[in-house]
Amino acid sequence: MRKLRCITLILLFSLVLVACGGEGDTYLYDTGAHTHVYGNRYDVTPETCICEGTQIRYCKICHQAVTDTVAVPEDIAARKHAFSDTVVAPTEAEEGYTKRSCTLCEYVIERTDVIPARYALLTDAATKTEAPNGVSGILMSDTATHKLSYSVGGEGAVSPVIARRLAVALAITEELERQGTALTPETLITLVSGMGEGNSYTVRELLYEWVASGDIDVARGFAMALDGSEAAFAARVAARLEKLGVLAQVTVDPFAPEAQGAATLHATGVMLARALDVPLLCEAFSNAVPGLVRIAGKKPALYLSVGGLRISAMKTDAGVYHFLLLSGENAPSNLENTLFLAVL
């Protein structure tokens, strides 16, 4: 009996081998009638954001293949884009960011990893927003972080005198920095009006004088030497302000009396942050500090007090400038000492 069962099994096994052998397959078992049991799907053509894909799956029993189409999702954000990143560096006035865009379609994710504009003055939770007594506006920051330790009254109007001096000085030093320029700090410029008419001075000397006095005759000398006319030079100065992003807040005329025009405290602060990034202007600022002025026992790197606006800066051993703008006719005279001692 046992022998018979064995023979039957061997016979059955042979039948299976014969049945499969005809197709050149290696199945060892008759698959018979069955419900297909499908395994994983595999990509034949992966779908992209613009093309549908195809996937294939096989029955685990008979290996029958079934292909499916994978549609492109309707939601454009959910599609399978092929992203690549373009880093857009910040400019003086505009923030920088990473632009992530699809190389296959037009889909763009803008402004990830945003970096502030290069001369933006930044606030955070630690920024003090209450002004000391007698002060109507105050900004305090440094050239390493641009973070404001004090920010009060930034949008308030202040005397445009300092903004005018900074605007012209920045226009001149931009020309000095320009590739291919013939202008150097040692270039001689002949004044065309005023006390110094007919005399020649270096650009450096005239910048020193301009920062300290805002003398119209110096502006005229620069205008004739650089642009040949006052109008063209005024346009150059306006373009410089626009590049820095403060043209809407600052109206100054290099050839008009100093008190004419308008400026906000914040825009003046942005111009100052930019100017402190120019070594030649820092030189001019320190040259313009009146001899007896001391802040926290030291000669400041900058001290200008005109028209109810006082600006000052102290340079650290690491070469960083901490700067302060104070507006208000009644600002206590020793306030710079107190405020700089706290940060230096």
State the Cα–Cα distance between residues 262 and 134, nearest whole angstrom: 22
Residues in the chain: 344
Distance, in Å, from the CA atom of 82 to the CA atom of 103, rounded to the nearest integer, reads 6
Retrieve residue 28's tokens.
Answer: 């060892």
Q: Which stretch binds Zn ion (CB under 5 A): 19-27, 28-36, 228-236, 253-261?
A: 28-36
Selected from 36, 111, 294, 298, the binder of Zn ion by CB under 5 A is 36
CA distance 214 to 216: 6
CB of 111 to Zn ion, least distance (A): 18
81 is an interface residue for Zn ion by CB under 5 A: yes
Q: Does 72 bind Zn ion (CB under 5 A)?
A: no
Span from 6-14, 36-44, 210-218, 285-293 in contact with Zn ion (CB under 5 A): 36-44
Q: Say whether residue 59 binds Zn ion (CB under 5 A).
A: yes
- Region near Zn ion per CB under 5 A, out of 64-72, 108-116, 299-307, 334-342: 64-72
Based on the shown chain and the rule CB under 5 A, indicate whether residue 191 belongs to the binding site for Zn ion: no
Least CB distance to Zn ion at residue 13 (A): 22
Sheet with 42-45: list strands edge to edge.
42-45, 53-58, 65-70
Closer CB to Zn ion, residue 107 or residue 255?
107
Comparison of 84 and 338: residue with beta carbon closer to Zn ion: 84
Residue 102 Cβ vs Zn ion, minimum distance, rounded to whole Å? 3
Kindly report the backbone phi and psi dihedral angles of residue 283, in degrees, each rounded to the nearest multiple of 5, phi listed first. Answer: -60, -45
User: Judged by CB under 5 A, does residue 61 bind Zn ion?
Assistant: yes
Whichever of 76 and 144 has its CB closer to Zn ion, that residue is 76
Q: What distance lies between CA 302 and its chain's CA centroid?
A: 26
Element (H, E) at 25: none
Nearer to Zn ion, 14 or 64 (CB): 64
Write the CB contacts of 261 (distance below 8 Å, at least 6 apart in sequence).
160, 163, 164, 250, 251, 252, 253
| Sites for Zn ion among residues 96-125 (CB under 5 A) | 102, 104-105, 107
The residue from 62, 65, 114, 232 that contacts Zn ion (CB under 5 A) is 62
According to DSSP H, which parts of 94-141 are helical?
none
Rounded CA gap, 35 and 24, in Å? Answer: 23
Rounded to a whole number of angstroms, the minimum distance from the CB of residue 96 to Zn ion is 24
Nearer to Zn ion, 58 or 255 (CB): 58
CB of 87 to Zn ion, least distance (A): 20
User: What sign results for the dihedral spanned by CA atoms 312, 315, 319, 324?
Assistant: negative
The three state secondary structure string of 259-273 is CCCEEEHHHHHHHHH
- 339 forms part of the interface with Zn ion (CB under 5 A): no
Total residues contacting Zn ion by CB under 5 A comes to 11
**Contacting positions for Zn ion (CB under 5 A):** 36, 49, 59, 61-62, 64, 81, 102, 104-105, 107
